Structure 1
Amino acid sequence: MKLVSWNVNGLRACVNKGFNDYFAAAGADVFCVQETKLQEGQIRLELGGEYRQYWNYAHKKGYSGTAVFTRLEPLSAAYGIEGMEETEGRVITLEFESFYLVNAYSPNARRDLSRLAFRLEWEDRFLEHLLRLDAVKPVIVCGDLNVAHREIDLKNAKANIGNSGFTDEERGRMTRLLESGFIDSFRHLNPDTEGVYSWWSYMPKVRERNIGWRIDYFLVSGRLASSIAGASVDCQIMGSDHCPVVLELDLPATVVPATKKEE
């Protein structure tokens, strides 16, 4: 089973920069996008009849938003997270027979950290959401989580300590999430690999010089660790300031065996 996640930073713009070509070439069973920046009816994607489309739009025009395109038919779809008003289109949860998929676009704390308190509250509610799901069946979490967890996950770590996306608070929340039973699939297979990033500033020559951050993830419930067959970052794909991240699970795409939750 192949899953792809990509912060497209405006889906309409990304479609004009090769999105459809990449989508077709990827051949994913599930393809998740973040920061769609559009409202219902503003785009019509021709993805093929086998893909079902699920959208969560922000109330504010041209802002945030998530979507999932899946060949697998979910049992149910839910939007947002319990305990927080859903106006920014940040979370889609799809329930499949033997796992949950959660597509998320975590809030940015902003350069001046004026939204850090909101970000931390969101993280608390998000973790509660994931743990509720994980108590029922395994969870696959993907998206732009807006944090570089470790110094290895960004180019200039020392210079960015305390900056948005690399504050102690945000990194601590990611540590807590992983310690709650989830696995960073890329680091699981590539524990010491440096220089692999998923986001670069639009400043001149930054991407060419690979001065980036790895802030886009696939996390999975710990009991799916042995099923991780591949976890990669398609750094060469343009069209956004982010690039796609990919997860391959050694499980059938149509029938995923249930896994009993460990006590």
Structure 2
Amino acid sequence: MRVVTISVNGLKRAVGEGFFEWMARQDADVVCVQDHRMRVYELDEDKYRPEGYEPYFLDAEKLEDGGVGIYTRQIPKAIMMGFSYAPADMNGAFIQADFDAVSIASLMVPCALMDDEKQQAKEEYLEAFGNHLQKTLRKRRQFIFCGNFQTAHLVTDANPRYHRLEVSGFLPQERAWFDQVFDEMQYVDAFRKINREKNQYTWWPESAEGWRKHSGWRVDYQIATQGLRSAIKRAWIDTETRFSDHAPLIVDYDVDF
């Protein structure tokens, strides 16, 4: 099963630039999309329903807050919209597709970069989602949580120029949240299970020049339950593809729906 996650910064523009053609070439089974910036009724139009995929989307009250969605080849047994945290549920920040063997979610953490007033909202989201992850451990199935977490975890996940800066996305408490998820709860960072190299980034906060100079951050993740650890077979970031300032993260799992 091939799972893709990508923050598109506007799906309408990405589709116009060949997003669906790229999807077809990837032979992806599930594509988790964040920051689509559209209304659900618009996404029902045929031009946003690529052949062979079923689409499921949530929109945000304010379009600029993004919205999330899932394209899947297999029709899910159920769709869960939100995780019982009102700020996220109202802003279209979490959607989950349940299949026979695994559940796959697409989510988007609030961005607080260059906006100190939003930092509290971001940290409250992370706290609530951390509680959700803790509860998920009690369930007898496997999960993959895909999304734009707006945060780099390790020093190898952000260009060294940011290491000494007090900036949202690399604050000690944000990085400690990932420590709790991966170390205490024993979730798996699917990409790092395969790839330990430096300069593995999914987001470039400045410009195309920054892209070339590797001045990026790894803020897009696929977080898997421990039962999927041995099923992670390949993981990579498609840095040759640019539909936004984020690159797609692609992971192959040896598991059926």
- SS of alignment partner, residue 3 of structure 1: strand
Distance of 2:163 and 2:179 partners within structure 1 = 21
Distance of 1:119 and 1:201 partners within structure 2 = 18
Are residue 215 (structure 1) and residue 198 (structure 2) matched?
Answer: no
Structure 1 residue 146, shift from structure 2 partner = 0.8
Distance of 2:28 and 2:126 partners within structure 1 = 28
- SS of alignment partner, residue 86 of structure 2: coil
Query: Which of 69, 73, 84 is the matching residue for 1:82?
Result: 84
Q: Structure 1 counterpart of 2:21, which letter?
A: D
Alignment partner, residue 155 of structure 2: 151
Are residue 135 (structure 1) and residue 138 (structure 2) matched?
Answer: yes
Alignment partner, residue 177 of structure 2: 173
Residues 1:64 and 1:225: Cα distance change in structure 2 (over 3 Å): same
Alignment partner, residue 31 of structure 1: 31
Residues 1:159 and 1:173: Cα distance change in structure 2 (over 3 Å): closer
Equivalent pair of 2:189/2:221 in contact (CA under 8 Å): yes
Return the TM-score normalized by structure 2.
0.92
- Aligned Cα RMSD in Å? 1.6
Equivalent pair of 2:146/2:222 in contact (CA under 8 Å): yes
Are residue 47 (structure 1) and residue 50 (structure 2) matched?
Answer: yes
Larger proportion of helix: 2
Residues 1:5 and 1:158: Cα distance change in structure 2 (over 3 Å): closer
Are residue 232 (structure 1) and residue 230 (structure 2) matched?
Answer: no
Structure 1 residue 110, shift from structure 2 partner = 3.0
Are residue 63 (structure 1) and residue 68 (structure 2) matched?
Answer: no
- SS of alignment partner, residue 104 of structure 1: strand
Structure 1 residue 241, shift from structure 2 partner = 0.5
Which sits farther off after the overlay, 125-134 or 54-63? 125-134
Q: Structure 2 counterpart of 1:107, which letter?
A: P
Q: How many pairs were matched up? A: 251
Q: Structure 1 counterpart of 2:186, which letter?
A: G
Alignment partner, residue 114 of structure 1: 117
Structure 1 residue 187, shift from structure 2 partner = 1.0
Equivalent pair of 1:185/1:220 in contact (CA under 8 Å): yes
Task: Report the identity percentage.
Answer: 27
Equivalent pair of 1:36/1:63 in contact (CA under 8 Å): no
Deviations 1:195-225 (A, max 9, x none): 1110112435111222111111111111210
Equivalent pair of 1:36/1:66 in contact (CA under 8 Å): yes
Structure 1 residue 159, shift from structure 2 partner = 4.7
Q: Structure 1 counterpart of 2:192, which letter?
A: R
Return the TM-score normalized by structure 1.
0.90
